[in-house]
Amino acid sequence: MAQSEPAESSRPCQDEGHQGDTADASPDRGWRGIREELRGRRYLDLSKDTQFSSAWLLLGLFLSLAGLLLQSGFLRATAATLFVVAAFGWTWNSLSLFGLHYRRSFSETRAFLGETIELTLEVSNRKLLPVTWLQITDIFPASLPVDEETVRLNRSSNLGEFTTFWSLGVFQRLKRRFTVRCIQRGFHSYGPAVLSTGDGFGMFDRKGTLGDRQRLIVYPRLYTIAELGLPAKDPFGGRDSREHLFEDPLRTAGVRAWEPADGLKRIHWKATARYQQMLSRAYLPSTAPQVLLVLNVATFPRHWLGHIPELMERAISVAGSLAAQCVELRLPVGLVANGFLPGSDQPLRLLPGRSPDQLVHILELLAAVTAFATKPIEELLLSEAPRLPWGSTLLVVTAIAHVELLATLLELQGAGRKVVLFTLAERPPERALPGITVYHLPHLVDDIILPQAMQDAETISGQVHRWKPGLQPEARPETKSDAAG
């Protein structure tokens, strides 16, 4: 349900539009038509969508004069009719947007990829005048289709337009329901809506804009633990910290002699009483069982090589699924990614936490993350890792397992960090990664057809490495044809 309720976005229409065509018409348009007609050339203004023009009033005046001169009641009555119809049309048009309410609401404002939600459009006319015609053009995301309806793509604005037609009687309210299929991840914006209406006689028209916007968030698809192929117990490996840098004041390992730096609460009073000397508690090392998801949005080692959207989507889904698993295991989980949110130029970053809304925040970020990588993933890892408390686990999710990334992972592992790699690359890492748990998930991308070039070769640092099954990679100098290909 839309929170603008009038959430859910029910607001009276603000008239921002023109009234008929006269406000927009150039001053001499009517005369130009007459001049063109006199020259024998047809002049039809096909953009004109209303009946009224200055000719109505001119004709009325002419008929009034003729009627007075010729003492013809019929001509005078015709003149009066023209004036009355124009006046009624103008008044009706002026009041057409008054008391008109448009409301857009969703059955859900968040959905997962592949789900459908119900969209309800409601229009109410709260006045004594009927609204014989009302056309509402609402901005819808072009990427989310509406069942049995068409969302037209406006090529100039690149926005989807959903046009509906309504005809309302006096104090009438109408409702229509549509089904939206959530087939693309992201933050999808609905609105604003432009309402076009006018008088029933087609004399004038006017437009009004409702600036309310609503948001529909489509989360990435989540895989189950079975689909990911993770072990049910300790999927991220056991925790064992041998470092003694940080102590846990709640876990006492023993006693030691009191030192001047020890606070009052560190003193072990019972031991002190027993041994008649000041003794302090010795604490066990402290570890923070935190998990940080590190997502690589790049699908090629070099960004100029291109981008495979579907591959990135799968990687995002894996990251989201892992976050859900962590939340289920009650682990504090955070997220960093080298992609960024629309409108920002900073990499995505959410500190680990275990609040009930943490998974919601992570999925929202994953729903919004774009494909453009702000920096290589290895740089991101090196910048983020030092900020983490000791004992944190790094879950690296990537569609490609290139050499630089693997080298960085090894470096982090050597420094004492716990690292788990989830790769969707076509082949598992060729080099050994001691101390790092690697999950190779090609079954998640089996249905994606990768570009032929990347199935045969990978260009790194100017050397082309040809990968063939069973053979060691051999480097050869880059040739012109390779660079061109």
Partner 1 sequence: MNFTEFAQTVQSNVGQVIIGKAETTELLLAALLVEGHVLLEDVPGIGKTTLAKAVARSLDCSFARIQFTPDLLPGDITGINFFNQKHQEFEFRPGPAFSQLLLADEINRATPRTQSALLEAMQEHQATVDGQTYAMPRPFLVLATQNPIELEGTFPLPEAQLDRFLMQVTLGYPSETDEEQILLRYQQNDPLAELGPVVTTAQVLEMQQRAREIHVNPDVRRYIVQLTRSTREHPAVDLGVSPRGTLALFKAGQALAALRGRDYVIPSDVQFLCPPVLTHRIHISPQVRLRGRTPAQVIAEIVASVAVPVVE
Partner 2 sequence: MLLVDRRYALVNFCLAGMEMAWFLPFWLLIFSPSQPPWLSYMVLLAAQLAWIVLLDLLNRTQLAHPAFDLAALGLMILTSLLAVGLSLFQGRTADQAGGEIWQSLQSALDFSKGFPPGLALLVANLFLWQRATNATSRELSFFSVGVSFRLGLLLLIASAGLFTRLRGGNLLPLLWVYVGMGLTAIAVARINEKAAGAQSAGKPLPARRLLQLLLAVGVTAGCAALLSHLYSPAGLSSLFERLSPLWALLRPVIDFALWLLVVILTPILAGFESLLRGLLSGYQAELQPVPAPEELRLPSQLDFASRIPEWVWAALLRGAIALAIVIGVLLLIALLFAGLEKTRRASRQAEAEEESLELMSAGGGILTRGLRAWGGALRRMRSFELSRGLLAAISVENIYANLCRLARLRGYGRRPSQPPDDYLPTLAQAFAGQEAALARITAAYMRVHYGDHPVDAVELAQVREDYRAVRRVFSDQGPS
Question: Are 184 and 145 contacting, i.e. CB atoms less than 8 angstroms apart?
Answer: no
249 binds, among partner 1, partner 2, none (CB under 5 to 8 A by kind): partner 1
Q: Among partner 1, partner 2, none, what does residue 61 contact (CB within 5–8 Å per kind)?
A: none
Q: Is 202 in the site for partner 2 (CB under 8 A)?
A: yes
Closest distance to partner 2 from the beta carbon of 61 (Å): 12
* Residue 54 region by backbone torsions, left for phi larger than 0, else alpha for psi between -120 and 50, else beta: alpha
Least distance CB 91 / partner 2 (angstroms): 10
- CB burial class (10 A; 0-12, 13-18, 19+) of residue 366? buried
Q: Does 289 bind partner 1 (CB under 8 A)?
A: no
Contact call for residues 405 and 398 (beta carbons, < 8 A)? yes
Given a contact cutoff of 8 angstroms between Cβ atoms, the answer to whether 311 and 414 are in contact is: no
47 lies in the binding site for partner 2 (CB under 8 A): no
CA–CA gap between residue 387 and residue 254 (Å, rounded): 30
Judged by DSSP in three states, 221 sits in: coil
Binding partner of 184, given partner 2, partner 1, none, CB within 5-8 angstroms per partner class: none
With CB under 8 A as the contact rule, the residue among 9, 51, 325, 423 that binds partner 2 is 51
CA atoms within 13 A on the CB side of 47: 5
In angstroms, rounded to a whole number, what is the distance separating the alpha carbons of residues 196 and 136? 6
User: What part of residues 136-175 is at the interface with partner 2 (CB under 8 A)?
Assistant: 136, 149-150, 162-170
Question: For residue 85, what are its two tokens?
Answer: 């119809």
Taking CB under 8 A as the criterion, the residue among 360, 371, 410, 438 binding partner 1 is 360
Q: Which is nearer to partner 1, 191 or 352 (CB)?
A: 352
# binding residues, partner 1 (CB under 8 A):
33
Q: Can residue 479 be called a binding residue for partner 2 (CB under 8 A)?
A: no
Q: How far apart are CA 441 and CA 426, in angstroms?
A: 9
| Radius of gyration in angstroms for the set of CA atoms belonging to the chain, rounded to a whole number | 35
Q: Where along the sequence are the contacts to partner 1 (CB under 8 A)?
A: 108-112, 217, 219, 249-250, 264-265, 267, 269-270, 272-273, 288, 290, 327, 332, 334, 351-360, 363, 389
Q: Where along the sequence are the contacts to partner 2 (CB under 8 A)?
A: 49, 51, 63-66, 68-70, 72-81, 83-85, 88, 92, 130, 132-133, 135-136, 149-150, 162-170, 176, 200-202
